[in-house]
Amino acid sequence: MTVNLCIAPPLRYRSAEYGLHALASEIEILLDDMADGLCTGDVDAERAQQWRIAGERAQRAVGQARAGLSTVENSILFNPRRLLPSHRGNLTFSRYHQSVNALERAVYQLGSLTRSLGQWRDTEDTYTYAPTLKTYADFALCLRDIAHVVAELDGDTLAEQADEMCELATQAQEALQKVLNSAQESRLPLADSTRPYGVLVVEASRLMDEFQNTCDVLKDTIDA
C-alpha cells in the first residue's frame, strides 16, 4: 500500500471517465424525458421548464467534467508510473477533452431546443404536427442510446463501445432523416419564428453533428 501510494500511485484514468460518465448520464436523462413528452404531445410550458432545469444540471456537469480532467492531468505530472513503457502510450486525455467539448455543444443545443418548446402554444391546431413530434421522439431516443454508451465508457472495452456507438449513430442519422421528411410532408412553417418547428429541425441537425462527432472522436482514438 505504501509503495502504491507514495512511489507509484495508480494513474487516475477512471477519474477522467467519471466526469464524462456523469455528463453523459445527465444528457441521457434529459433526452429520455424529452422523447416521452414529444411522443405523447406533452410539450406544455411546465414540462418544458422541467427540461430546462435538467439542461442546467447537464451544464453544471460539463464544468465538473472539465475540472476532473484538469485534476487528473495535473496529477500525472507527479506520478512515477508515467515513465513506465506500459503507460507512455496512454498519457493523453485528448479523447476525453474532445468528447466533453462535443457534449457541451450538445447541451447548448438542447438548451435552445427546450427554450423553443417552452414557447409552444397552449392550443396548436393549425398544423398536423403529431407525426413530426413522433419521429422527433424516436430521434431523441437514438441520441439517448448513444449517451447511455458514453455514460458507461470503459477504457478496457473502448473498442467495442466505439463500434456500438458508430452503429447507433447510423441509426440516429436515419431517424433524423425521418424527422426532416415528416416536417416537409406535413408542411410545417419552419420559417415562422413564433412557432418551434424551425428550431426543432435546426437543432436536430446540430445535435446529430455533435453526437456523431463524439462517436468519431472515440473511434478515431481506437484506430490511431
Question: Residue-wise pLDDT tens for the chain (224 aa)?
Answer: 433 433 334 445 566 678 889 999 999 999 999 999 999 888 887 888 899 999 999 999 999 988 888 877 776 654 554 444 444 334 356 778 888 899 999 999 999 888 888 777 655 666 688 899 999 999 999 999 999 999 998 878 888 999 999 999 999 999 999 999 999 999 998 988 878 889 899 999 999 999 999 999 888 877 65
Cα of 172 vs its chain's centroid, Å: 13
* Nearest Cα residue to 212 out of 133, 107, 65, 103: 103
CA distance 11 to 8: 8
Please state the φ and ψ torsions of residue 154, each to the nearest 5 degrees: -140, 125
CA quadruple 57, 51, 172, 101: dihedral sign: negative
For the entire predicted model, the pTM comes to 0.85
Burial of 125 (0-12, 13-18, 19+ CB in 10 A): exposed
CB 130 within 8 A of CB 182: no
pLDDT given for residue 3 in this prediction:
39
Residue 155 to residue 189: CA distance in whole angstroms: 45
Determine how many CB atoms are found less than 10 A away from the CB of residue 1. Answer: 5
The pLDDT score that the predictor gives to residue 92 is 53
Question: In the numeric block, which cell numbers belong to residue 94?
Answer: 485528448
Sign of the torsion formed by the C-alpha atoms of 219, 110, 200 and 28 = positive
Residue 118: predicted pLDDT: 78
pLDDT at 77: 55
> Is there a contact between 155 and 72 (Cβ–Cβ < 8 Å)?
no
